[in-house]
Structure 1
Amino acid sequence: MRKLSRHLYFQVIIAIIIGILVGHYYPQIAPTGELISTIFINLIKMLIAPIIFLTIVLGIARMGDMKKVGKVGGKALLYFEIVTTLAITIGLIVANYLKPGSGIDFSAVSGADIEKAAKIQHDAAGFSWTEFLLHIVPANAVEAFAKGEIIQVLVFAILFGYGITKLNGKGNGLLNTFERISEVFFNVLKFIMKLAPIGAFGGMAFTIGKFGLKALHPMISLMLCVYLTMFLFIFIVLGTIAYLYKFSLWKYLRFISNELLIVLGTSSSESALPGIMEKLEKMGCHKEVVGLVIPAGYSFNLDGTSIYLSMSMIFLAQAAKVDLSIWQELTIIGILMVTSKGAAGVTGSGFIVLASTLAVIKVIPAGGLALLIGVDRFMSEARAITNLIGNGVATIVMAKSEKAFDEEKYKLAIGVQ
């Protein structure tokens, strides 16, 4: 028992349970819990930009061939589009079959939630693809680091790595320095991860304390449908992909259990980003592939978010008693294939993208967004966990397809002799 208590995953589980109990019986702790959780997530976020930058620069410099970088990036983006489209389609099918929105009463929506939904719709109205495309390329590289803009840091790092490859061997000293700096950041990360149980406790205490378990009752059907769909997606779709590429999905999930629990406690997939990169390298993925695929995946491979968006669309249609034709549902798939990628550069991305998609379709009342506000936090854990798992699987697939995967390290990591 003493040995078990030293494991991070055990400590995080206990912290989550305590957080639920404290939040339920002492809801006044919610502001303190939010403060604790935010501080922990910020500690992780301050490392994300430099770790991504250093990992990508070192990876590209080691490749030494920008054609290979472009090939890996292109294959990854194609994979992302195929898998997220599958996620959207599965979400629509399950929502149509289980009908979670049937019998929902619009009149039960609170005035505060309606006001919040109106603000979200206003924000969505200001979203444009021109802004999104401009957002990808940083006008100021320093600002991109300061604000933690993952996609902008990714673009800058690729260009910086390209610049080093053109030094014709004269950049070795610089690369050695970057290697040491990278080690320093990962050492800092290891220290911060010891605080993960505290962050998980704060996140769970805030969620339960603020919204309460009673907030689940009116929307329990949608929550169960979303969780069920994400479970099916992980173990059927991602499980099939893992089988085809000859690695064990279950053993992969067990290997990243710490990261999954941290995401569960904090409701943020970003809190596990540096950790998942380190774990995937230990599993045998070459550093340069991890450095390219994971940051890009956090912007363009949001499997959990895609499922949530498609199911929410059908849920709102059912709640509003709008009977969608097959062509309208195919239109929703087509629009979400594009708009779900817009989540990369938008604060509060899930609701903003959902609102902007509703505005395009114009057949589902956008006011129904207020129905989702109360339970969104409870579904964010499922979205974040599914996004994390999906990006890890994508990285292993890209590494194996590029013959940049060490089978011996993989066997050692998962305990196969």
Structure 2
Amino acid sequence: MALDRTVSPRRTGSARRRPAPHTWLYLSVIAAVVLGALVGLVFPAFAQTLKPLGDGFVALIHMMIAPIIFCTIVVGVGSIAKAATVGKIGGLALGYFLVMSTVALAIGLVVGNLVHPGDHLDMRGSTYQATGEASSTHEFVLGIIPTSLFSAFTDGSVLQVLFVALLVGFAVQRMGVRGEPVMRVVRKLQEVVFRILGMVLWVAPVGAFGAMAAVVGATGAGAIASLGLLMVAFYVTCVLFIVVVLGSLLWVVARINVLRLVQYLGKEYLLIVGTSSSESALPRLIAKMEHLGVAKPVVGITVPTGYSFNLDGTAIYLTMASLFIANGMGEPMSVGEQIGLLVFMVIASKGAAGVSGAGLATLAGGLQAYRPDLVNGVGVIVGVDRFMSEGRALTNFTGNAVATILVGRWTRQFDAERARRVLAGALPFDESAVQGHDGHDGGEDASAAEAEREREPERVSV
């Protein structure tokens, strides 16, 4: 992930004049949500007949769950092995990311149980045919084992796909160098899968319109209030997570005020809000963490790894959205189901980070694994998902910045005195440190991202 890519003025200017494709999709979904809510309020009976539009979109997402889970878990296991080989830095980073992602998921569950989002919705018509639900614990455990290695992909069991993916991932990992060709094939397959998912996401405005119109038509203005409560609760939770959880860690370990760090990263936050993607600020985060006093090896390992394994905002979103759907359908999750869902999300969210639509597919996959009857409720979440993307991206970004400082401190490769001077304004950041960035949002970052998309799946916030 080099920072010295040369960007021609012509290409940079063109990138600024042309909005990225995901920007048009973002605006289209927002317009569809507003229009669907209006139709639901004005023509409630007609609006309820539009429910198949939302159901159809959910069916398309459901179609992609198995290949997405398989590819991302196999690639994720390989990435963990690669990061672990760098020694103490990689081991500390991965351990911290695993713990913090679990904490974020747990916080999402706690807040969801306290706030009870979705209680005033009427989504009971959006049910999915559940197949083969286990009636006891031993049946559930045995049901994770597929009849054959390939039957997991045809039986519709997400847990079976997860089990096979873990086996394949660890088998390829044990092969060492001989397993690299297999990993390359899986990565290419993953690229194809996410390209297909990208095509499916262009139908999101239609699905969001139908789902929103149907829910508002059945529930009335209460649906809008419930969705608003979910968004407010999510943003408040993200703020508290940053200030209380991350802030406490940062102060105890490095004696740094998290609000000072947020102020230091102000321009990056503006860039993220403008693009709804923490990926767009990745080059600047690397440069600013080095300027802050974190050693280059720590930054070079922790930041890229964090962008794949440390998604605190996405973790909070996944659990709160799951509880919202369950409450909205009048079928709240039991404590056991919530714990099982948390474990699934911890594993399934790794490796797919940053890819457009992966968060939605992971949400659908978790529901399919533990509560198949709730899968179609994802269609309603599509309507407000884009409104919460900035919160996810900002929280993810802050979590990775804090993680870089903590790992640097733990490995004694962090200059605390320099950090205090930088945050106090005595050593201002040189904007030319990120070549090609001239103070406008989107310069080199947009062009670099465009070049990267030629080789990898489109990466935006999840």
Task: Quickly name the TM-score band, shorter chain normalised.
Answer: 0.5 to 0.7
Q: Which residue of 1 aligns with 2:433?
A: none
> CA-to-partner distance for each residue in 1:117-171, whole Å, 9 max, x for gaps?
xxxxx9x89975639949998649999999999xxxxxxxxxxxxxxxxxxxxxx
1:324 equivalent among 330, 333, 339: 333
Go from structure 1 to structure 2 and tell me whether the alpha carbon gap of 1:333 and 1:143 turns closer, same or farther (over 3 Å shift).
closer
Structure 1 position 399 matched with structure 2 position 408: yes
Q: Which amino acid aligns with 1:269?
A: S
Give the deviation of 1:253 after TM superposition: 0.6
- In structure 2, the residue matched to 1:233 is 241
Counterpart mapping for 1:17-416 below 5 A? 33-35=19-21, 69-106=86-123, 130=165, 133=169, 139=181, 219-245=227-253, 246-344=255-353, 347-362=356-371, 364-415=373-424
Whole-Å separation in 1 of the counterparts to 2:269 and 2:316: 18
Measure, in 2, the Cα distance between the counterparts of 1:313 and 1:85: 16
**Counterparts of 1:80 and 1:103, CA distance in 2:** 35
For residue 416 of structure 1, report the CA deviation from its aligned partner.
6.3
Once the two structures are superposed, what CA deviation does each residue of 1:209-233 show, in whole Å capped at 9, x if it has no partner? x999x99766211111111111111
Match of 2:349, SS? helix
- C-alpha separation in 2, matches of 1:227 and 1:352: 22
Paired letter, 1:240? S
In the superposition, relative to structure 1, how do residues 141 and 81 fare at CA in structure 2: closer, same or farther (>3 Å)?
A: closer
Distance 2:375 2:325 in 1: 9
Of Structure 1 and Structure 2, the greater helix share is in 1
TM-score by length of 2: 0.55
Q: CA contact under 8 A between 1:342 and 1:353: conserved in structure 2?
A: no
Q: How far apart are 1:315 and its partner, in Å?
A: 0.7
- Work out the CA distance in 1 between the residues paired with 2:160 and 2:354: 13
CA distance in 2, matches of 1:381, 1:294: 19
Alpha carbons of structure 1 residues 364 and 277: separation in structure 2 relative to 1, 3 Å: farther
Unaligned runs of 5+ residues in structure 2 are: 1-16, 25-82, 127-155, 174-178, 192-204, 213-220, 427-462
Count of aligned pairs: 288
Provide Cα deviations, 1:373-395, integer angstroms capped at 9, x if missing partner.
Answer: 11111111100110000001000
Distance 1:409 1:140, change over 3 A: farther
Separation of aligned partners in 1, 2:333 and 2:187: 44
Whole-Å separation in 2 of the counterparts to 1:325 and 1:36: 37
Is the CA contact 2:323–2:332 (under 8 Å) kept in the aligned structure 1?
no
CA distance in 2, matches of 1:144, 1:392: 30
Q: CA deviation at 1:273?
A: 0.5
After superposing the two structures, state which structure 1 stretch, 86-95 or 358-367, moved more: 358-367
- How big is the shift at 1:334? 1.7
Summarize deviations over 1:291-330 as a string: whole Å, max 9, x none.
0001110111010110000101111111111132222222
- Report the alpha carbon displacement of residue 106 of structure 1 after superposing the two structures with TM: 2.1
Separation in 2 of the partners of 1:224 and 1:364? 26
**Identical pairs, percent:** 36
**Contact 2:292-2:422 at 8 Å conserved across structures:** yes
Q: Secondary structure at the match of 1:106?
A: coil
Contact 1:346 1:352 in 2 (8 A): no
CA RMSD after TM alignment: 3.8
**Quick check: 81-90 or 342-351, which moved more?**
342-351
* Counterparts in 2 of 1:367 and 1:108: CA distance versus 1, 3 Å: closer
* Structure 2 residue aligned with 1:17: none
* 1:91–1:310 contact (8 Å) kept in structure 2: yes
SS in 2 for 1:405: coil
- Counterpart Cα distance in 1 of 2:100 and 2:402: 11
Distance 1:340 1:145 in 2: 16
* Range 135-144 or range 70-79, more displaced: 135-144
Structure 1 residues 108 and 218 mapped into 2: Cα distance closer, same or farther (>3 Å)?
farther
Alignment gaps of 5+ in structure 1 = 1-30, 39-65, 110-121, 150-206
Q: Distance in 2 between matches of 1:73 and 1:237?
A: 22
User: CA 1:404–1:270 in 2, change beyond 3 Å: closer, same or farther?
Assistant: same
